[in-house]
Amino acid sequence: MLLIDAYESKEFPIDLPDPIEAIRFRMDQGNLKQKDLVPIFGSKGKVSEVLNGKRELSLTMIRNLVNQLGIPAEVLLQQRTAAMSPSLSE
């Protein structure tokens, strides 16, 4: 079994999810609305900006998401995926 796991991990690595997609997934799991995230993010505007990719997560937001929603820090600390980031040509 260990040999199979090692092979699959090497040949078919599973990437971590995009941080915003992880937050949205946790919201869906917990039937949370954006207003439910205000205590985590600090304001309604910040929640909207983060979920729309217009604001980066702060260290305080990341700590709150880890502690209150149980999202792993390594997911939240990674760079957004290229498909989600604004292009450099704009």
pTM: 0.74
Domain 14-77: homologous superfamily in CATH: lambda repressor-like DNA-binding domains (1.10.260.40)
For the chain, 90 residues long, give each residue's pLDDT as a single digit of tens: 788 878 877 887 778 899 999 999 999 999 999 999 999 999 999 999 999 999 999 999 999 999 999 999 999 998 775 444 443 333
Residues contacting residue 16 through CB under 8 Å, at least 6 positions apart: 74, 75, 78
Give dist(CA 22, CA 19) in Å, integer: 5
Residues contacting residue 56 through CB under 8 Å, at least 6 positions apart: 50
Buried b (16+ CB within 10 A) or exposed e, 42-76: eeeebbeebbeeeeebeeebbebbbeebebeeebb
Q: Where are the domains of the chain?
A: 14-77
